Amino acid sequence: MCGIIGYTGRRAAVPILLEGLSRLEYRGYDSAGIVVYEGDELKLVKKAGRISVLKELLEHIDTNASLGIGHTRWATHGAPSDVNAHPHTDDSGCFAVVHNGIIENYMEIKEWLLKKGHKFVSDTDTEVLPHLIKYYYDGDLLAAVKRAKKQIEGSYAMVVLSKHEPKRLVAARQDSPLILGVGEGEYFVASDIPAILKYTRSAVIIDDGETVDITDVYFKVYNGAELAVKKQLFNITWEDSRAEKAGYDHFMLKEIHEQPNAIKDTVRGRITDNRVVLKELEGLEDFIKGLRRIHIVACGTAYHAGMVGKYAIELLARIPVEVDIASEFRYRNPIVSKGDLVIVISQSGETADTLAALRESKRLGAKVLAVTNVVGSSVSREADYVIYTWAGPEIAVASTKAFTTQLAVMYMIAVWLSQKLDTIAEEHRAEILRELKSMPEKAAKALRAADDIKKIAEAYVDKNSVFFIGRGQDNVIASEGALKLKEISYIHAEAYAAGELKHGTLALIEEGVPVVALVAQRDLAQKMYSNIKEVKARGAKVLAVALEGDEIVEKEADEVIYIPDTHSVLSSILTVIPLQLLAYYVSVLKGCDVDKPRNLAKSVTVE
Ligand code: AGP
């Protein structure tokens, strides 16, 4: 997820671009840059680091240019660096592009252009765009962009300018957000509303497939069939503070609702023809053939993603998996050796305990695969292999979209291993991958229960303790649900394997104790119904999270939140969503600082 902005109009562009980028920094902040058109030249300034670094550089640039584009990056392809920062230009320096999204077939396009003599300088997917536009340019920038679009597969919100056409911007959107701001004799195009609020509240939403032709005197929108379409102007009513949260009250709620897109972006390009394709693991195939054991090591929510990964890998690839909390792993003299694979999971890629576990694993001779959300993070640089989640920046301390995208990656790793070891039938794999590809819309459907959950949350506000129970993967999500509630509402919560209740914890169940029962493992549902009976008989008030179509559970539980039906091995992506929402609404009702809970930090870089 990155932030893009473009301006053409009557004012100096640089201050407007910098203001816009500052308001978009929550979308990405590992590098930034702008390019403006002045005196028949493109002036390009870009740098690794935050917007403040770019601002310092621009203080020395004397320009009144009134056409320009800017970008603040959250790296996906190519580590954060000056050369990988946007804008990117073609090798003649005549075309410049800023882009938010993922060009899935960029390698194919790059090889095609290299054969035609194009020279590339960066490791990014985006750099193919200015080269492709240059290739198709025949005096009309709009026509060149339309032709380039036909060759691109993937997601993009892009803005293009050329030194051949002063005053003109061309923008296009597919699967990444793009809005057009309409001012007096000036136009803005950006990823999101905060970027333009200081200058105009009159805007147009650009839809998927559309291309926009913008000068300082007009804008024209064309649909996928290249027909001009009339767009509805709307008035932005948000006040500034909510704008960065896309109108949500908190970053956490925004990020919970971003999960369908985050999962879609993370899976994008990694499932083709009913097979998982993980280019990042090329060269690991032979090692996998002799693999005896996998260790997964992580902290907190990432540890829970590792536990779900254990269930999926052992079920689908039949390789024994041990999961460790990183702060325990590094001190227990772990039995790790040359033939082992260690998977470390870390959203930030900077968690000290996880990084130490990675280093210990390498010292012991294991191969290390990192699953992380931050390109260029310490974990990504020190691991032997890296698979990125493409969740975009996660601002709230409580991890949500990073978690569900970690699950998506763990599921893909499990299927990838099963492909290499030939452990499941093709039709079984096809069924699982069909379900995995349907997860974005199923997650969106699960989010529709938000209002019901907001109501249910009222009954939890004054509780001193909440129990979460489940079996199999549901037992892991019970732990994740308990962690969410604890860390943002400060209510004690405990997760327990439902089958274990009778071995002690049942003594704590008395009249009115809230129990959240997860019933998304179809083959264990009957056992869960009995466990619900068991706690209700002692006075518990039970909220169940169950699969759509389960009519028995509503006879057993006091309340039920349904999630879309899905394959048991993948259900955790959906089961966790109601629990994230429950924790969020309880925290809000308690007046807690949802995005920055007490005593916690987003990235724990100390022991
Ligand atoms: C999760 O909501 C917490 N913020 C915390 O447990 C977090 O998952 C843990 O600190 C690991 O962080 P990492 O993924 O950045 O390594």
Q: For residue 466, which amino acid is it? A: V
- Compute the distance between CA of residue 401 and CA of residue 406 in angstroms, rounded to an integer: 8
Q: What is the pLDDT of residue 603?
A: 84
Please indicate whether residue 299 is annotated as part of the active site.
no
Among candidate residues 362, 437, 590, 602, the one labeled active-site is 602
> Considering only CA atoms, which of 147, 175, 142 is closest in space to residue 159?
142
CA distances from 282 to 58, 268, 369 (A): 41, 18, 12
Q: What is the pLDDT of residue 602?
A: 84
Is 299 near ligand 1, meaning CB less than 6 Å away? yes
pTM as predicted: 0.86
Is 399 near ligand 1, meaning CB less than 6 Å away? yes
**pLDDT tens by residue, 285-324:** 999 999 999 999 999 999 999 999 999 999 999 999 999 9
Q: Which residues of the chain have pLDDT under 50?
A: none
- Compute the distance between CA of residue 212 and CA of residue 186 in angstroms, rounded to an integer: 15
SS (H, E, C) 30-61: CEEEEEEEECCEEEEEEEECCHHHHHHHHCCC
Q: 352 CA to middle of ligand 1, Å?
A: 11
- Compute the distance between CA of residue 252 and CA of residue 256 in angstroms, rounded to an integer: 6
Q: 403 CA to middle of ligand 1, Å?
A: 9
CA-based R_g, the chain, Å: 25
**pLDDT tens by residue, 516-574:** 999 999 999 999 999 999 999 999 999 999 999 999 999 999 999 999 999 999 999 99
Q: What is the pLDDT of residue 560?
A: 98
Helical segments of 240-373, H only: 240-243, 251-257, 259-267, 285-289, 300-316, 326-329, 352-363
For the record, the structure tokens of 597 come out as 């809970």
> Considering only CA atoms, which of 266, 241, 267 is closest in space to residue 254?
241
Q: What is the pLDDT of residue 252?
A: 97
Q: What is the spatial order of strands in the sheet that 559-563 belongs to?
A: 492-497, 465-470, 514-519, 541-547, 559-563
Counting ligand 1 atoms within 8 A of each CB, the residue from 296, 297, 299 with the most, and so the one to mutate, is 299
- Compute the distance between CA of residue 325 and CA of residue 346 in angstroms, rounded to an integer: 12
Is 400 near ligand 1, meaning CB less than 6 Å away? no
> Considering only CA atoms, which of 127, 135, 98, 93 is closest in space to residue 110?
127
User: Cβ distance 384 to 368 under 8 Å?
Assistant: yes
Please indicate whether residue 43 is annotated as part of the active site.
no
Is 122 near ligand 1, meaning CB less than 6 Å away? no
Is 351 near ligand 1, meaning CB less than 6 Å away? yes
Residue-averaged pLDDT of the chain: 95
- The number of C-alpha atoms within 13 Å of 333 and in the hemisphere containing its C-beta is 0
Q: What is the pLDDT of residue 556?
A: 97
Phi, psi of 518 (to 5 degrees): -95, 125
